[in-house]
Structure 1
């Protein structure tokens, strides 16, 4: 990775805005280093994504976390020789380095650019063209990347379909490691802000407990539901303290479609209220492969799993106005929800005591 002067980029075009950054598309005039290329050892003109970190002109270790996480991951997997021909590190987006915006002075992370955008929009735009065979291929790629992260003791902590990009050949690539952390890093009370999109955040995290690898598995279960239905989880609800309370009480999206044998059961395992009951990423990968191989048998027997046509299936044109699918700080909402839960519990206890006595 390297620092690249901003003037080395041209045709910088704003694409979208996330919870903590703005994303631009740009042409990197020289392109990244390639020691197999002739001098000056660059691959030449390349389209990249520039992620401008909000209020980062005085950059700190916190802003650099995304690069540090990727560097540690890539170093680990370089030693295992798993760098792939797709120019990513085994289903993890590749980071080239950092630059600094000439006007705002904010720092910008340089990554590979994918024309197809993210999985969320891909599902919305192509839902009825994605057979169950293709869905299961995508799931294998997604869980493969997650398994590699967990193998490297990295927890993503903001795992959702908007943070999965779609590469050439519709291959999903995990991105946005901005708040990822080591699973063996001690819990830091000074940096305990919880970020995310409420439907993808595990209930134990919504109850104030720390992120674990099992929290990522819960998020994967929501991605499974999204692929199955073509809709975003809890698209019809406001993402507020009431939803947090309901999720902690066991609310999950409705099961309203057919799927290959074992798919729904596995999805429910990922959703389990007890994180210890969820499969590991390694177990998840094996189970997804088994479902995939069974679907191949269905295809051979000319009985592939079909996508249902139903009013309850397929993308919707309008989500609930209060449904927010950008990562944002959630700690204050969680505190409010926990306070409400505690108050309800106290009221129930008082009612029981007054009814039955001491």
Structure 2
């Protein structure tokens, strides 16, 4: 028996009513680019649940745009989206805006400030890719792979609401849920972070990576700065930055090597194609970061000499107090031979076993942050 929409009484798919959805979506829209139009249209046609809907979001519906961070390929901003996303029950989800939101609107560095009569909206992140006014394979790759991971599991990739375009720069921006917890790297630097919560985070990350690999994708730039946390308490961890991710059988036609050197597998540093096993190597380095609370090799330049040493077998020193079973898995992940590294599926099985069958203080022991840090 088909589910029936509460409002229009017509059959619906999942939590979506196509008729009601069509009334909520902006009519006669265009991004001005046929590739982006096609991407959004196909995503809307395939959506079975509200969190799978991707929209064209007019830039003039964004307020309080503030700079957050800058990376090698992109710039991140935070903003308020006045309309809000389509939620269960086919309605727009918006939150009341507060005094602080209107106070921020008065700051000189804020673009498109809130008007006094605008009282509702949601906080979002905007990701602007360099030179995306000329649509590149890199930008489309980011969109497609991000959406694939969202379709596989809404707990793997940061929820993406849509795409917009800055009329001043003509750059396209991805509109995503704002992760209030920051990234994993910044959270691990907090000395009094609950150790057991760190362990639960590790399980989240392993699951997100498995989701990616089940889609036959590799990430290509997997490190703690690309893992975003929904909040500082009871956080869900999401993988971000899918620009370098791609199908396993597809290589980048370039002599350049992209990534953060301490997280890069030795075979990648030697110029070999990026594989799932290279993502696993990066996961092993993240495991070490959980035990130390600091980024790997942060005491030396990330240069050719470090790359050479990693290729010769240099790895982080095991932190005192790390349980042998944890250290063994970590070392397997960063083995010089990609064939000896565990798969994402095996990682999940092992961590799931630990989580369910070891004493509750197991996580406290394997990821305790040294007091001298």
Q: Distance in 2 between matches of 1:135 and 1:224?
A: 10
Check if 1:42 corresponds to 2:74: no
Q: Give CA deviations for 1:233-290 in whole Å, capped at 9, x if unaligned.
A: 0011111111111000000011132124511111000010000000000101111223
Q: Give 1:69's aligned residue.
A: 145
Check if 1:102 corresponds to 2:167: yes
Check if 1:13 corresponds to 2:66: yes
Q: Give 2:342's aligned residue.
A: 279
Q: Give CA deviations for 1:7-55 in whole Å, capped at 9, x if unaligned.
A: 0100111111111111000000001233623xxx422321110011112
Q: Give 1:51's aligned residue.
A: 127
Number of positions where the alignment pairs a residue of Structure 1 with one of Structure 2: 292
Find 1:232's aligned residue among 295, 320, 323: 295
Q: Which has the higher contact order (CA 8 A, sep 6+)?
A: 1
Superposition misfits of 4+ residues, deviation over 4 angstroms? 297-300, 303-306
Q: Secondary structure at the match of 2:238?
A: strand
Q: Secondary structure at the match of 1:64?
A: helix
Q: Distance in 2 between matches of 1:251 and 1:284?
A: 23
Check if 1:136 corresponds to 2:186: no
Q: Give 1:317's aligned residue.
A: none
Q: Distance in 1 between matches of 2:147 and 2:370?
A: 45
After TM superposition, give the deviation of residue 305 of structure 1 in Å.
5.8
With over 3 angstroms needed to count, the CA separation of the structure-2 counterparts of 1:305 and 1:282, relative to structure 1, is closer
After TM superposition, give the deviation of residue 57 of structure 1 in Å.
1.5
Q: Distance in 1 between matches of 2:66 and 2:218?
A: 31
Contact 2:291 2:366 (C-alpha < 8 Å) held by counterparts:
no
Contact 1:270 1:279 (C-alpha < 8 Å) held by counterparts:
yes
Contact 2:183 2:226 (C-alpha < 8 Å) held by counterparts:
yes
After TM superposition, give the deviation of residue 60 of structure 1 in Å.
2.5
Find 1:24's aligned residue among 77, 86, 89: 77
With over 3 angstroms needed to count, the CA separation of the structure-2 counterparts of 1:92 and 1:8, relative to structure 1, is same
Q: Distance in 1 between matches of 2:354 and 2:348?
A: 10
Contact 2:149 2:157 (C-alpha < 8 Å) held by counterparts:
no
Find 1:246's aligned residue among 309, 318, 322: 309
Q: Distance in 2 between matches of 1:209 and 1:152?
A: 22
Contact 2:293 2:369 (C-alpha < 8 Å) held by counterparts:
no
Q: Give 2:24's aligned residue.
A: none
Find 2:368's aligned residue among 304, 307, 332: 307
- The TM-score normalised by the length of structure 2 is 0.74
Q: Secondary structure at the match of 1:196?
A: coil
Q: Give 1:118's aligned residue.
A: 183
Matches within 5 A, 1:251-330: 251-296=314-359, 298=361, 307=368, 309-311=370-372, 314=373
Q: Secondary structure at the match of 2:228?
A: strand
CA RMSD of superposed structures (Å): 2.1
The gaps in structure 2 that reach 5 residues or longer are 1-53, 95-120
Q: Give 1:336's aligned residue.
A: none
Q: Give CA deviations for 1:154-181 in whole Å, capped at 9, x if unaligned.
A: 1000000000011142221111111110
With over 3 angstroms needed to count, the CA separation of the structure-2 counterparts of 1:299 and 1:276, relative to structure 1, is closer
Q: Give 2:6's aligned residue.
A: none
With over 3 angstroms needed to count, the CA separation of the structure-2 counterparts of 1:71 and 1:297, relative to structure 1, is closer
With over 3 angstroms needed to count, the CA separation of the structure-2 counterparts of 1:152 and 1:167, relative to structure 1, is same
